[in-house]
Structure 1
Amino acid sequence: MSDGQEAAWETLSDTYMFPVERDAAATSVHPDQRLNPAEFFGREAELVVEIGSGQGHAIIHAATQAPERNFLAVEVFRAGLARTMLDANTAGLSNVRVIEANAPEVLEHLLPEGSVSEIWVFFSDPWHKKRHAKRRLVRPGFGSLVARALKDGGTLRLATDWQDYADQMVEVLDAEPDFERGFEGEWAERFDGRILTAFEKKGLRVGRDIRDLTYVRKAR
């Protein structure tokens, strides 16, 4: 981390970061720990969770545009979380919080069932080499974890610039009984709440198509 990020980590973690109880690994979540969103944010509000928030550009922009909503960034890379906290503090945002943890464990254990209005997965690692594809976030079983955390009618938004990963996302989520498509045609329209990040710019620069997908949590 840069000196500024190191300082942000030291001085802002108590304000913005949820203190995760670990299991075996450094970024694991103890299966008995739970997060109370209203207590953590200090208010009742719709909750949006971004998985793999990176440097936090998307979530900081969204939190600025929608102060009535709460935004939770889930990431495993400390430099990105430090940057997110620094930018949130600079912007004076009180509706942003962060978690350093593996996203599947956050979805499975930490978040209360049916507590989230939207979950975002924007440009997660495509693991584009065939032998690494099993490491992708969106694979069989992921949909059930998301469905647990989302409220009825809640939205899962995804975007990627890797065509084969987009195809895999569709295959996985179309097969999930708890979800239905929130779009018509082959792909969803670009989500207008997503700013143009470095990942998307890079994909466009090398001529890749950006694929958006939207799925809606069916009623329980």
Structure 2
Amino acid sequence: MNKPPRREIKSYIRRESRMSPALREALVRLWPKYGLSITDGLLAYQQVFHQPQKLILEIGFGMGQSLLQMAKATQDTCFIAVEVHRPGIANLLVGLEKEQLNNVRVYCEDAILVLKQAIPDHSLNRTQVFFPDPWPKRRHHKRRLIQPSFLELLHQKLVPGGIFHAATDWQDYAVHIFQTLETSIKFTNVAQQKFATKPAYRPLTKFEERGYRLGHQSWDIIFKVK
């Protein structure tokens, strides 16, 4: 008797909130311009972005406000963005159209599948994961995105000296991310101390600003390929 195929552990749950008719229309109208699919195979990023100076992968951009700010501030840098929350994708696409930006492309797919099937080896200058689901319950820790297997895959996709930047407002997850990277023989810490100072290129989110007013803290972890 054949065994059933092993199910991949997913690092996310698709939490779909209701979309307004305007956002739904925007998603349908703008997806052909900005959307990508892993069924297309390896991304020919030099053609899509016309020889980008830098190529950055962002995993999980939420509603897209921070990514939109980064794309607008560095228009010679190109972004591959991965998100499964369709209202957030639609919101980002509306912003890209409004700002007349052409340096972002979007996958509505599992980030691991995008890395495995669509991102060429040694092509990414930076990968950023800002405020991923912390999966705080111990029994759910295996669902956390940043694991040794993820770093192995990421190392294959980053250029030599390429950057991995994570940020979280859960101290337990910050420690987990740091320890996972620190034990890897393929990455080295960019910061002089354990955690990095937030770099200027990462915008503060509204959630962060509210958290700081309430005395909460965020942690940035920045490592590079050895």
TM-score, L = length of structure 1: 0.89
Identify the range of structure 1 (163-172 vs 195-204) with the bigger mean alpha-carbon deviation.
195-204
Q: What is the match of residue 61 of structure 1?
A: 69
Matched, 1:19 2:19: no
Return the alpha-carbon distance in structure 2 between the equivalents of residues 4 and 18 of structure 1: 21
1:3 to 21, 27, 36: 21
Aligned partner of 1:176 in structure 2 is: 184
2:221 to 209, 213, 216: 213
Using the alignment, how far apart are the partners of 2:125 and 2:66 within structure 1? 17
Contact 1:123 1:199 in 2 (8 A): no
Match of 1:24 in 2: none
* Partner of residue 94, structure 2: 86
**What secondary structure, in the 3-state scheme, does the structure 1 residue paired with 2:198 have?**
coil
In structure 2, how many angstroms separate the alpha carbons of the residues matched to 1:105 and 1:122?
19
User: How big is each residue's C-alpha offset from its partner over 1:160-200, in whole Å with a ceiling of 9 and x where there is no partner?
Assistant: 00000000001111111211111111210112111111342
Matched residue type, 2:27: W
Give the aligned partner of residue 143 of structure 1. 151
- State the match for 1:40 in structure 2: 48
CA distance in 2, matches of 1:202, 1:73: 25
For residues 48 and 108 of structure 2, the distance between their equivalents in structure 1, rounded to whole angstroms, comes to 15
User: Which residue is 2:14 aligned to?
Assistant: none
Runs of at least 4 residues off by over 4 Å: none
What TM-score, normalized by structure 2, do the two folds share?
0.87
Question: Displacement of 1:49 after TM fit?
Answer: 1.0
Across the aligned residues of Structure 1 and Structure 2, the Cα RMSD in angstroms comes to 1.5
Worse overlay, 140-149 or 197-206 = 197-206
Partners of 1:69 and 1:44 in 2: CA distance:
6
| Number of aligned residues | 208
User: Which residue does 1:99 correspond to in 2?
Assistant: 107
Question: 2:214 and 2:134 mapped to 1: Cα distance?
Answer: 16
SS in 1 for 2:148: coil
Q: Percent identity?
A: 35
Instruction: Determine whether 1:154 maps to 2:162.
Output: yes
Which ranges of structure 1 fall in alignment gaps of 5 or more residues? 22-29
1:177-216 pair list within 5 angstroms: 177-216=185-224
Gaps of 5+ in 2: 1-18
Q: What SS does structure 1 have at the residue aligned with 2:36?
A: coil
Further displaced range: 158-167 or 192-201: 192-201
Measure, in 1, the Cα distance between the counterparts of 2:208 and 2:77.
25
Contact 2:38–2:114, Cα closer than 8 Å, also in 1: no
Distance 1:105 1:19 in 2: 10
Shift of 1:70: 0.6
